[in-house]
Chains A and B, each alone.
Chain A
């Protein structure tokens, strides 16, 4: 029998499979399958999401057949199966559940499009299908070659190099940049983002991203929403290949569910980055059992992961979490003393003169909504929560005394900011604020000016309005 392990590419859900079953009274049935999961060398798992004809058939007659297609060679295989049992817990079930629920939440189907069970089948035989030989081989082949699949990059050598580069990062800001840059340069992942836990429960906020022209720092994701939220909730890595096809499948379910009034419209949540990702991989950043954040990698081409990659990915996530947490602790420990003179020295401009940097607005209106802890600039949402409170405090103080130098320590001592006494993540909030300003309001800059210090730089006249 052909080893199941040699069919790893077929078992990634990149191209749907077909399931053939037969009822007790001899009526055959064919059904499309979005994913066949590898269990071990003798078993596969199929998702049980609806009590459909296939499920009824295997309940009364355990014999089944699956047609699998190799997405690289387009060669087809026939797997003769025998239904063994349905699992409703355990690692196989959990891995399938997370993937399905991540897709479901993108389509507004959370709670409807869900895994009821992982049906475990014994594989009795694996045979190539003679009349579906796939693409001709290179020697003598006359047909065009398929695009080569992305190679699997998780090797010890690559991880070592990754680690070396990250060690060189002196600050949290540099570390975040180094992580994303290295993911591209060593592993070839051009689209990635890091989201960190916020001061609000069950929310993550994007603090750094790479490969997205429109940015997105400050975007929020709730636990359980999409692949990132599911990773945060379950604290397990999730990988989805063939995203477009999975989304189309889920959309078909959503349309029928909406038509029957089973789910409201407009519950969809946007994809976090690429409009049409082919693969998404979410990695929990866990340090000492604490969720520091989530690393999300996207590819716009099909990417092959293998079972052993999961272990590498989990090691990588743990390593990055500790590096981020250490950077936060180090910056707090080394933060600067209060500057001796807060008012600006005589003759020194309080900030850059209005219009000093090209393309800036000469005047901006900054509004702070106290009840929502939210800042708007020119009527457009900028930031909320702790970063909003920090920005408001800094701008007001500058307006009152012209001070431009601030320290993290001073912010920590300010009771109005209501920072938690333990693990306030102030440094990450400041990075988020700085990046958010760079993206959305370049007229205001908070530039690092030393360990635990930053300088306010204004490129426009700023009018402040506080609203309830």
Chain B
């Protein structure tokens, strides 16, 4: 990877704004799997991303990531479908810290507000298990446009 990071300051804000986030991994048989994540934090150098997902989901994803570190994280804003996909390599995992819970809750709330705006009321999202979380850290190698329509799948620069 060169010195340029594909994550701009504006994109970093978007990724942390409370979106539909899912990550995808794969096993040794090239079978893909995935899980919902509840929050993401772009690291200061904007070359690393930390993704927060439920600890049980994290455990499942780690089964793949420990042997096959390729990872993709998709971000989608439900009210506009602005979307992008971050691809990279898994670096490490740890349990999310209590000090990080407020940040996770804030992003979950943002996502729930987005869903509310498109007709999925709060009571419907009340059963989400958003804590305890695992925090997975990854390097960012590429970011792709994922907003549906022409140009979807092209690299974002």
Contact = CB atoms under 8 A, between A and B. Distances in A.
B85 A29 contact: yes
B74 A26 contact: no
B31 A27 contact: no
Contacts of A135: 123-124, 126-127
B56 A32 contact: no
B64 to A, nearest CB: 9
B80 A252 contact: yes
B151 A22 contact: no
Nearest to B31: A63
Task: Report the interface size class on chain B.
Answer: 35 or more
Interface stretch (A242-250, A369-377, A420-428): A242-250
Contacts of B29: 63
Interface of B: 20, 22-26, 29-36, 54-57, 68, 70-74, 76, 78-83, 85, 87, 118-121, 123-129, 144, 146-153
A30 interface: yes
A67 interface: yes
A455 interface: no
A310 interface: no
Given A29-B32, A32-B76, A63-B30, A244 B148 contact: no
Contacts of A245: 78, 118-119
Contacts of B83: 32
Interface string A121-158: 00000000111111110000001111100000000000
A278 interface: yes
A317 B21 CA distance: 43
B35 to A, nearest CB: 8
A80 interface: yes
B70 A26 contact: yes
23 contacts: A20-B32, A28-B26, A30-B22, A30-B24, A30-B34, A32-B74, A50-B149, A53-B144, A67-B36, A131-B54, A131-B57, A131-B129, A135-B124, A144-B123, A144-B126, A145-B123, A146-B123, A244-B119, A245-B118, A248-B81, A251-B81, A252-B148, A256-B149
B118 A244 contact: yes
B152 A248 contact: no
A363 interface: no
A65 B33 contact: yes
Interface in A39-61: 50, 52-53, 57, 61
A278 B120 CA distance: 11
Contacts of B123: 135, 143-147
B153 A254 contact: no
B31 A80 contact: yes
A64 interface: yes
A67 B127 contact: no
Interface in A242-291: 244-245, 248-249, 251-257, 260, 262, 278
A49 to B, nearest CB: 8
A301 B57 CA distance: 32
Given A30-B23, A133-B129, A15 B120 contact: yes
Nearest to A141: B127
Given A65-B34, A131-B129, A29 B150 contact: no
> Nearest 6 CB-CB pairs, A to B?
A256-B149, A252-B81, A253-B149, A28-B24, A131-B56, A20-B32
A21 interface: yes
Nearest to A63: B31
A253 B148 contact: yes
A31 interface: yes
Contact of A248 (B24, B72, B118): B118
Contacts of B20: 32
A260 B24 contact: no
Contacts of B153: 50, 52-53
Given A22-B24, A65-B34, A135-B127, 8 more contacts: A30-B23, A32-B76, A32-B148, A63-B32, A74-B125, A74-B127, A135-B123, A256-B148
A141 to B, nearest CB: 9
Nearest to A29: B72
Contact of B127 (A53, A136, A260): A136
A30 B55 CA distance: 20
A143 B127 contact: yes
Interface in A69-109: 71, 74, 76, 78, 80
Nearest to B126: A143
